[in-house]
Amino acid sequence: MITQKEIEKQNFILWYSLYATEKELEMARTHNRKILDRLLQEYAEEVEKVNRTRYLYERIIQSKSMKTQGFDVTLKINYFSYQRKSRFLLKAN
């Protein structure tokens, strides 16, 4: 079962990396700087993965201007590895 925290994570990563316009990002930086900074710090690795995938996708599109090949960019979160990591951290403490 997906937790509320995981839903927040997926929503933020998709919004920030794929859907937010420059105007929306600027508004978030102006009005919600602390929250935005916290979420960026917390999910930096996942945001970077999406950004690298988008960059690769854009490079493929540009290099094949006559023949465009598209890819579905979907963020997949491995819930089971997250659980194992959490258990490991709990045992270490």
Taking the whole predicted model, whether its pTM rises above 0.75 is answered as no
User: Between 44-63 and 33-42, two packed helices, what is the crossing angle to 10 degrees?
Assistant: 80
| Alpha helix (H) residue ranges in 1-93 | 4-14, 22-31, 33-42, 44-63, 79-92
Q: What pLDDT shows up at residue 88?
A: 52
Is 92 or 11 the better-scoring residue by pLDDT?
11
Q: Cα–Cα distance between 48 and 54 in angstroms, integer?
A: 10
Name the residue among 45, 39, 47, 56 with its Cα closest to residue 14: 47
Q: What is the rounded average pLDDT of the residues 39-62?
A: 86
Q: What pLDDT shows up at residue 52?
A: 85
Q: What is the rounded average pLDDT of the residues 63-69?
A: 59
Q: What pLDDT shows up at residue 61?
A: 77
Query: Residue 3 pLDDT more than 60?
Result: yes
